Amino acid sequence: MGRDNVVPVQVEADILVARRTARVLAVSLDFSHLELTMLATAISEIARNMIVYGKGGQMRFEVEPHPTRKGIRVIARDWGPGIANISRAMDDGFSTGQGLGLGLPGARRLMDEFELSSTVGVGTTITMTKWRRG
């Protein structure tokens, strides 16, 4: 399919643009209503973290080119302070701010594939994929 889209994530309104972008791709791939909801929720959590902790960034949405199944890959990149302790950041309830600490681990549970890399002083990249069931 070869389609991809990049959405800047700087302010709260950008979260809606990111969700809408993913939804258009997911609908074109016949994702179920539940899969659309899971994808949108994960995107919201990561985008909000990008704004609050990562000083903004961008999300790239790609149709995953797999021969036997359909999926959407989301690559979220920020240029914030980075995450010093990734394993701790992935614990439920851990937050360096005033949130509930459910964003990163919650997004990981909602997606089928989830990878986080971060360098202190450089930024964080999250790559996550949702596959269509059925």
Below-70 pLDDT ranges, the chain: 1-4, 91-102
For position 85, what pLDDT does the model report? 79
For position 84, what pLDDT does the model report? 86
Q: What is the DSSP letter of 132?
A: P
For position 101, what pLDDT does the model report? 38
For position 102, what pLDDT does the model report? 52
For position 120, what pLDDT does the model report? 95
CA 133 to chain centre: 19
Q: Hey, which bits of the chain come out as E strands?
A: 4-9, 57-65, 70-78, 113-119, 123-131
For position 95, what pLDDT does the model report? 52
| Closest by Cα among 76, 22, 75, 82 to 47 | 76
For position 105, what pLDDT does the model report? 87
For position 104, what pLDDT does the model report? 87
SS3 116: strand
Q: What is the pTM of this model?
A: 0.87
Domains, the chain: 4-131 (3.30.565.10)
Half-sphere exposure of residue 35, counting CA atoms within 13 Å on the CB side? 21
Task: Beginning with the edge strand found earlier in the chain, give each strand of the sheet holding 70-78 in spatial order.
Answer: 4-9, 57-65, 70-78, 123-131, 113-119
Pairing relation of β-strands 70-78 and 57-65? Answer: antiparallel
